[in-house]
């Protein structure tokens, strides 16, 4: 993938709904985990052009499985419960290219 601007791109859904419907960031956890993932990727020295990118995004349409994240171009979908899970995704998948099977959805 020499032409790719990023080797891998992780999107974390930060959608919120005020009407009580389920959404990935209703509790605020997804916003915290976005910052954790980005900080961890930067600390590992893998965040940036020709490496990896961590981005926030709106609804990914898998609200019942949330909070969710997806890594492209691999199209691997994840759920997570805490910072340890998010750091594991960054370490294993973003840095080493190995999906974290226990967190896949």
The answer as to whether 3 is a domain residue is: no
Instruction: Tell me whether residue 21 is in a domain.
Output: yes
CA separation for the pair 95, 31 (Å, rounded): 21
* CATH code, domain with 71: 3.40.30.10
**Does 97 reside within a domain?**
yes
Structural domain boundaries, residue 92: 8-103
> Does 1 fall in a domain?
no
Give pLDDT tens digits along the chain (105 positions): 457 899 999 999 999 998 878 999 999 999 999 999 999 999 999 999 999 999 999 999 998 998 999 999 999 999 999 999 999 999 999 999 999 999 999
β-strands 68-72, 8-13 pairing: antiparallel
CA distance 39 to 56: 13
Structure pTM? 0.94
The total number of residues shown for the chain amounts to: 105
Main-chain dihedrals φ then ψ at residue 98, nearest 5 degrees: -110, 110
What is the count of structural domains for the chain?
Answer: 1
């Amino acid at each position: 993938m020499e032409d790719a601007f990023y080797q891998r791109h992780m999107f974390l859904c930060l959608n919120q709904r005020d009407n009580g419907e389920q959404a990935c960031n209703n509790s605020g956890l997804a916003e915290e985990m976005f910052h954790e993932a980005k900080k961890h990727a930067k600390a590992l020295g893998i965040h940036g052009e020709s490496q990896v990118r961590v981005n926030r995004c709106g609804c990914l349409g898998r609200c019942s499985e949330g909070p969710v994240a997806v890594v492209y171009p691999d199209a691997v979908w994840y759920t997570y419960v805490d910072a340890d899970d998010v750091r594991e995704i960054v370490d294993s998948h973003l840095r080493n290219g190995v999906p974290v099977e226990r967190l896949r959805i």
